[in-house]
Amino acid sequence: MAHQEIHEHKFINIFWPLLIEVFLAVLVNLSDTLMLYGVSNEAVGAVGSAATYLSFVNVAFVIFSSGALAVFTQFVGAKRHYAAQHALKLSLFVNFGIALIIAGALIFFPTEILRLLMGDSELVYAASQYLQIVGGSVLFTALTPIIGNYMRAFGHDKSPMFASLAANVTNIVLNVLAIYVLRWGVLGVALATAVAHFVNLVGHIVLAFVHVPKITDTTLDTSTKVILKDIMTIGLPSALETFVYFGAMAAVVTILNNYDPSGVQITVRVTVEHIASIAFIPSAALAHANSIKTGFRCGRHNYDKCLKETQRIGLWGLGISVSLAILLALFGEPIINLFTSSEGIYGAELEEIVRLVKLCLWIQVGLEVGRSINLIVGESLKVAGDAVYVGIVGFISLTLIVGVGSYFLGFSLGLGVIGVFIVLALDEVLRGLAMLFRWQTRKWSHKTLV
């Protein structure tokens, strides 16, 4: 493949398709939640519970999807295109094997698995429907991000966006049909989600075949063992961090449920998370786009450019996300009303929830300060090869600060959800500072893969 065939796009050309992708993902998640309230509160609880457990399952796929991004971008940056293609085949093969095992367990034993996790909860039947169908579709979700990252590494930034757009439109249309026309409830939502995952994968495969140029030089200048080691070096710490994060969030839910069995505190947390996801969108897109450019530059050993551009993008992410968080804190009441009316909350309970949500949205401003830096600089450290540091910092902060701190402030001191959000903000700020410090030391420049 000639060098000029690789599209070395400007940052903005990578960023805006990712921005649309993240926005659509958040939008679909919000619309799914609001539409489920049209079925019943139990449906929301069942799908929410099953989706939480599926989040843990998906950590297994983070190892190769996250590690593959670093390998793809650095190999392409170093003009080792066939090695990048070999890494693609290896990543798809391993993730598909893992997905087969997980999908088999979720398809054939969904009720048994949920009984183990949820006991005799009345939500088990509906949740098992969702877990069985959407769990089976991990065969698709295990492969899609790997193919998307491969296309982006070769400069085809809009292709994954178009595939995701088709999938999200499919999801919304089928959800409306299943919930409001066919009245299939949780079963319909599960089928819509699984079909959307399939559409997304097919779209990625077709566009990859169409847009990624054929590699003519098939000389493999490294071994499969080395490529696998490189992927695992990045992927395992990333997966550990993700797993610990979900574990910390599960602990937060348990603490709030024990503090307030009525569910008011947990409702506040969920509502704030939905609203705050709007401020999260720009930072998430900037982080992913910048990680692609960072990997490419590390492959070229252009470390000065890596350092300066990540600093610049970090400032942009900080300014945009914090500004959005402030706007949501100032003018978020209509959005709060949208969720509370969907949940059928009225009277004194409604007043208390609105009061707590408003307070938490102001705390969320501080959280976004840390999260924007943590996301952008942390992702760059991972793709540069310094994922172990990110994983260690994440493990320490999430277990000691979020886990212990949430119990102390939220439960022991009786601050409830307010205490939890203070702790979450502290965690993001401290991790963001740790990422920034590491980035400034340039130690990551000695850990690149090529």
Q: Which helix (H) or strand (E) holds 380?
A: helix 347-384
175 pLDDT above the threshold of 60: yes
Judge whether residue 2 has pLDDT over 60: no
What would the pLDDT profile of 78-90 be if each residue is shown by its tens digit?
989 899 999 999 9
One-letter amino acid for residue 116 of the chain: L
DSSP 171-221: HHHHHHIIIIIS--HHHHHHHHHHHHHHHHHHHHHHHHHHHSPPP------
φ, ψ for residue 117, nearest 5 deg:
-90, -35
pLDDT at 342 (0 to 100):
63
Q: How high is the pLDDT of residue 123?
A: 77
Q: Using 50, 70 and 90 to split pLDDT, how confident is the model at 346?
A: confident
pLDDT of residue 348: 79
Residues 36-46, mean pLDDT to the nearest whole number: 75
Cα 170 to Cα 11, 37, 47, 194: the distances in Å are 29, 20, 19, 10
Q: 129-142 pLDDT, tens per residue?
A: 999 999 999 999 99
Task: Render 402-443 in DSSP notation, one character per residue.
Answer: IIIHIIIIIIIS--HHHHHHHHHHHHHHHHHHHHHHHHHHTG
* pLDDT band (50, 70, 90) for residue 343: low
Nearest to 154 by CA among 364, 7, 343: 7
Three-state secondary structure call for residue 27: helix
pLDDT at 440: 96
Check residue 121 and give left, alpha or beta (phi > 0: left; psi -120 to 50: alpha).
Answer: beta
386-404 pLDDT, tens digit each: 999 999 999 999 999 999 9
The mean of the pLDDT values for the chain is: 90
In the chain, domain spans: 1-222, 234-450
Q: How confident is the model at residue 344 (pLDDT cuts 50, 70, 90)?
A: low
Whether pLDDT at 1 is above 50: no
Give residue-wise pLDDT tens across range 352-380. Answer: 888 999 999 999 999 999 999 999 999 99
Helices 333-342 and 11-36 cross at an angle (nearest 10°) of 40
Q: Is the pTM of this model over 0.85?
A: yes
Query: 49-105, pLDDT tens digit by residue?
Result: 788 788 888 898 988 999 999 999 999 999 898 999 999 999 999 999 999 999 999
